[in-house]
Amino acid sequence: MIQVKQVNTEKEMKQFVSFPFSLYKNNPYWVPSLLKGELKSFNLNDHVQKTVSVKYYLAYKNQEIVGRIAVIINWNEVNQLHKRKVRFGWFDFIDDINVSQALLQKAIEFAQENDLEYIEGPMGFNNMDKAGMLTKGFDYLPTMIGLYNYEYYPKHMEQLGYKPEAEWIEYQMTMENVGKVWNMEKFAPLIEKRYKVRALKFNNTKEILPYVDEMFAVLNHAYSDLQSYVPIEQYQIDHYKEKYIGYIHPDFISIIVNDQNKIIAFAITMPSFSKAFKKANGSLFPFGWYHLLKAMKKNDHAEFYLIGIEPEYQSKGIPALIFRDFYNNFKKRGIKTVETNPLLIENNKIQQLWQQFSPELHKERKTFRKNVK
Q: Model confidence at 227, in pLDDT bands (50, 70, 90)?
A: low
Contact 90, 70 (CB under 8 A): yes
Asked if pLDDT for residue 83 goes beyond 60, the answer is yes
| pTM (2 d.p.) | 0.90
Fold classification of 2-168 is Aminopeptidase (3.40.630)
The domains of the chain are located at 2-168, 172-363
pLDDT at 62: 95
| Residues 180-185, mean pLDDT to the nearest whole number | 70
Q: Model confidence at 336, in pLDDT bands (50, 70, 90)?
A: very high
| Residues 327-338, mean pLDDT to the nearest whole number | 93
pLDDT at 29: 97
The model's pLDDT over 291-323, given as tens digits with 9 standing for 90+, comes to 888 988 899 999 998 899 999 998 898 988 998
pLDDT at 169: 96
Contact 46, 293 (CB under 8 A): no
Asked if pLDDT for residue 86 goes beyond 80, the answer is yes
| Residues 117-146, mean pLDDT to the nearest whole number | 93
Asked if pLDDT for residue 93 goes beyond 90, the answer is yes
Cα–Cα distance, 370 to 120 (Å, whole number): 7
Q: Count the Cβ atoms, other than its own, within 10 Å of residue 149.
A: 23
Q: Model confidence at 119, in pLDDT bands (50, 70, 90)?
A: very high
Contact 281, 32 (CB under 8 A): yes
Closest CA to 339 of 115, 149, 177: 177
CATH H superfamily, domain 172-363: Gcn5-related N-acetyltransferase (GNAT) (3.40.630.30)
Same fold, 2-168 and 172-363: yes
The model's pLDDT over 32-60, given as tens digits with 9 standing for 90+, comes to 998 888 888 787 555 455 688 999 999 99
pLDDT at 127: 78
pLDDT at 44: 53
**Residue 160 per-residue DSSP state:** T
| Residues 342-366, mean pLDDT to the nearest whole number | 89
The more confidently predicted of residues 48 and 188 is 188
Query: What residue spans of the chain are helical by DSSP H?
Result: 10-23, 35-41, 75-79, 97-113, 152-159, 175-181, 184-195, 212-222, 234-243, 274-280, 288-297, 319-333, 348-355
| Residues 59-79, mean pLDDT to the nearest whole number | 95
